[in-house]
Chains A and B, each alone.
Chain A
Amino acid sequence: MNNISLLIADDHMLFLDGIRRILCDEDNITLMGEALNGKGLLDMLHKNKPEVILLDINMPVMNGFDTIKFIKMSYPEIKIIILSTYNDEHLIEKAKGLGANGYLLKTASKEELIETVNLVAKGHSCFPYRQPNAKQLSNMDNRFWVQYSLTKREGEILEKIKAGQTNQQIANSLFLSIYTVETHRKNIMQKLQLKTTAALMKFIFENNI
């Protein structure tokens, strides 16, 4: 197995210490150096170019995301794994977008850490399981609803409109105020990109709701 050279940037001394202790047990991973922020890391890169960099997001002077941009510009061949306490979808996406090769939670176990480093070094992308988004999770198995992002309530209202009920009747049967029903109708029209009630009726019958 090839020896993997590694640099790490994190402003947290205790954490760096922990990482060092974990990695010294690994024969195939060599920790070439440690930086306390992105700037320090970039300085190191002038001398040594590692295969993989472990990069914290929140650091003083230069943070992780800015650092990725620089590294990817100057040394696109270096692989980067983001190390973060944040388990947020939008951050993972952002890291991916900037060209990171992996995203690792700081609370990951020792095994996960080693595995991720190895996988990334081999050229794999290594991101945690991404949760399906709201649309996919929604109970609407009817693809029609999904297509127009209509909610269950809006579906109920469409059915009642189709049945010829007035706003007041809809409000009464759904225990809503008339203002709420009117707002729902407006929202439906906006979602379906329709302007008039006639167009809505046409839409309802054409799509056989």
Chain B
Amino acid sequence: MRVSKHYILIVLAGILLPLCIRGQTLLDTFKIKGANDEQLLNYYKFWEDKNDNASLKDVVNLFKQNQFTSVHSENPAFNSAYTKSSFWFVLNIKNDTTTSLNLMWSFYNNDIGFVIYELDSTLQPTFRDSLQVENTLENRNIPFRAMSYQFDLQPNQGKLFLAKVYKKNTDFIYFISDLSTSEDILLWENQFAFLSGKYVGILLVVIVFNLFLFLILKSRIYLWHTLYSLFILCFIFSEDLLDVVYLPSWIYTYFNKITKMNFLGFAMIFLVIVSQVFTESKIKHPRLDIVLRFYKFIMIAINVSLFFGSFLLYTDNIFLSLLRKSNDLILFIGVLLVLFYSISSLVKKDYRLLIYFISSILLLTSILLYLITDFFGYRPYYLSPGNIIVAFIIQTIFLSLYFILKFNREQKDNYVSLKKANAENEKLSGSILKLQEIERKRFAQDLHDELGSSLAALKLRLQKSSLPKNELTEVLKIVDKASDDTRNISHNLMPPEFEQTNLESLLIAYYNRLNTESDVRFHFHCMGYKNIFGKEKELIIYRILMELTNNILKHANAGEATIQLIYFEKYLEMMCEDNGIGMVDKKTDGIGLNNINSRVSYIKGEIKIDTTQSGTTIIIKIPYNKNTNE
């Protein structure tokens, strides 16, 4: 278990024993003096089976011939860097206390397999246990996240173990081992479980949070961040051997087939995507973006092949080994690439990139050191419960904060621009209405003054003419008809002196005139007229009433109609009732109704239409407060 091995080391080394290991020469026998133990590696003697084909008998003979060498390492790991070999090692232990001890020998790496034999005094091997990662919790002798072998040791009793370690799913023989009393392990695990549980919890929250953000905002970056966090979580599960504890066994049997570096590879792909989207690299740093895209392409090719390869070709082979090695290399390059990209922010003064850099620096160094450790077996700094998870959480908190701030700002911007667009829109429709009215007014006046006066002049002249009486009467009738038409047309376009006359008297006059001219009997009531709307708004109200009235005249087939204007305390209510045939078919369209709707919405009123075959009631309410500040 790479991430937590330093922690173990600290626990192992720090509590009971003085730090004397490094200075001591090799000890043949690991003398257990209490609940805890020391750097176990220094007590191992090993023989490297370069072809991975030695039999147990051969190995025992080699041991007898003293062919095993001591490890003698300052590092906590057995071996670093790539190897093709498997290893055999012996451990001689003795209970130096006066009590019987129940001990656990644990191995923290789930890509490696272990076979344990006990050698008796004549060096005859007896098989004790085979520790394999694919064993689910219930299939293990000890239900513990690390593969462990448990045995008892009486006071002053000694035991000699021979163990074989072989690669299963990796190209490294790199493992941490630990030998301790069960109680001690329990204590340490308790603490670890709390810490890892906390961090896994945070990770899950981050995943769910980003997923929701994606679902709500539909912005891809949150999806990438979700996937990125998900793969980091998978990596942590695999790395800290939490998978066997957290995942249901049927998932675990598939999950453990995938090497953790594969998860880290996928995480790296999404990390690059997030960094690209976050920093808008396509626009701002197009050249680097091409490199990142190319990198991503290779990463995806390797990791997808590795992923499916792990399932389809479970038995390890050269192909998978090659993929894993390429993945290690490209991960290494990737971290350097993103680091370089981030550092370039300092030169380019791109503050978004800088934010990304600050948030990610710790994570990138952690991944870098993690990769280096595979080769050199030592890490200069360590944060519990693991560098990568801590750095990742720091990054995520940083980015999430930024996302929230960005979301806030964008929402504000959106709101402002929406408001602006609305105002613009309103202004535009207002000015269109105004233009229309100006045009109408001019047209009405021209008709009235020019054509109307000319017709009047014509009439005067005709009366002086020498036409026969009968004919004159006929012609005068035609002139009168022309005058009336002109007056009506211009009146409909714009009532004369509109601006100087209050709405109520205009409407009273209008409906009175209508009653003399049309078959529909109009009743007009105006209650509590207030000069609260400006003339411009009153004209709009007037136009609405004209449209409503025209609809009644043209389509309603009504005998009677009541038009009411009631000025309430806070709004004007217009009510138009008729006893016509209703407007069921024309409810939604019709130019007249469109005109009414657009005008009503322009003065921020609301319209309700209640129509049946026995008549139509239209109710329009126009609030004062939204129409006075102009």
Binding site for B on A (CB under 8 A): 10-12, 14-15, 17-19, 21-22, 25, 57-58, 65, 85-91, 93-94, 106-107, 109-110, 131-134, 137-139, 149, 151-153, 175-177, 179-180, 183, 186-187, 190-191
Contact = CB atoms under 8 A, between A and B. Distances in A.
Given A85-B448, A91-B497, A133-B508, A19 B460 contact: yes
Interface stretch (B148-156, B220-228, B390-398, B511-519): B511-519
B454 A12 contact: yes
A40 to B, nearest CB: 17
A106 B512 contact: no
Nearest to A63: B497
Contacts of B501: 90, 94
B123 to A, nearest CB: 100
B457 A14 contact: yes
A10 B453 contact: yes
Contacts of A65: 500
Given A12-B454, A15-B457, A109 B448 contact: no
B614 interface: yes
Given A90-B501, A131-B512, A190-B566, A22 B527 contact: no
Contacts of A132: 512
Contacts of A134: 508, 511-512, 515, 522-525
Given A58-B445, A134-B525, A183 B457 contact: no
15 contacts: A19-B460, A22-B463, A22-B464, A25-B464, A85-B452, A88-B496, A90-B506, A107-B459, A109-B459, A109-B463, A134-B515, A139-B521, A149-B525, A183-B575, A187-B566
Contact of A106 (B452, B495, B516, B521): B452
B527 A191 contact: yes
Nearest to A87: B487
Contacts of B139: none
Interface of B: 445, 448-450, 452-461, 463-464, 476, 479-480, 483, 486-487, 491, 495-497, 500-501, 505-506, 508-509, 511-513, 515-516, 521-525, 527-528, 560, 562, 564, 566, 568, 573, 575, 577, 608, 610, 612-615, 617, 619
Given A86-B448, A90-B505, A134-B525, A180 B619 contact: yes
Contacts of A10: 453
Given A90-B505, A91-B496, A133-B508, A18 B460 contact: yes
Contact of B610 (A58, A151, A179): A179
Which of A18, A19, A65, A131 has the largest number of chain B CB atoms within 10 A? A18
Closest 4 CB pairs of A and B: A18-B460, A106-B456, A85-B452, A12-B453
Contacts of A139: 521, 523
Contacts of B460: 15, 18-19, 21-22, 110
A107 B455 CA distance: 8
A191 to B, nearest CB: 6
Contacts of B564: 151, 187
A89 B612 CA distance: 35
B329 to A, nearest CB: 74
Given A10-B453, A89-B509, A93-B505, 6 more contacts: A11-B449, A15-B453, A107-B455, A149-B527, A152-B560, A183-B608
A152 B523 CA distance: 10
A21 B464 contact: yes
Contacts of B457: 12, 14-15, 17-18
Which of B460, B464, B508, B613 has the largest number of chain A CB atoms within 10 A? B460
A183 B453 contact: no
Contacts of A190: 527-528, 566, 568
A172 B614 CA distance: 12
Contacts of B511: 134
Contact of A85 (B479, B483, B566): B483
Which of B479, B497, B513 has the largest number of chain A CB atoms within 10 A? B497
A190 B457 CA distance: 51
Contacts of B495: 88
Nearest to A85: B452
B575 A175 contact: no
A175 to B, nearest CB: 5
B385 to A, nearest CB: 65
B510 to A, nearest CB: 9
B509 A18 contact: no
A85 B487 contact: yes
B74 to A, nearest CB: 87
A191 B512 CA distance: 22
A98 to B, nearest CB: 11
A21 B457 CA distance: 10
Nearest to A19: B460
Contacts of A179: 608, 610, 619
A107 B459 CA distance: 7
Contacts of A93: 505
Nearest to B612: A175
Contacts of B456: 12, 15, 18, 85, 106-107
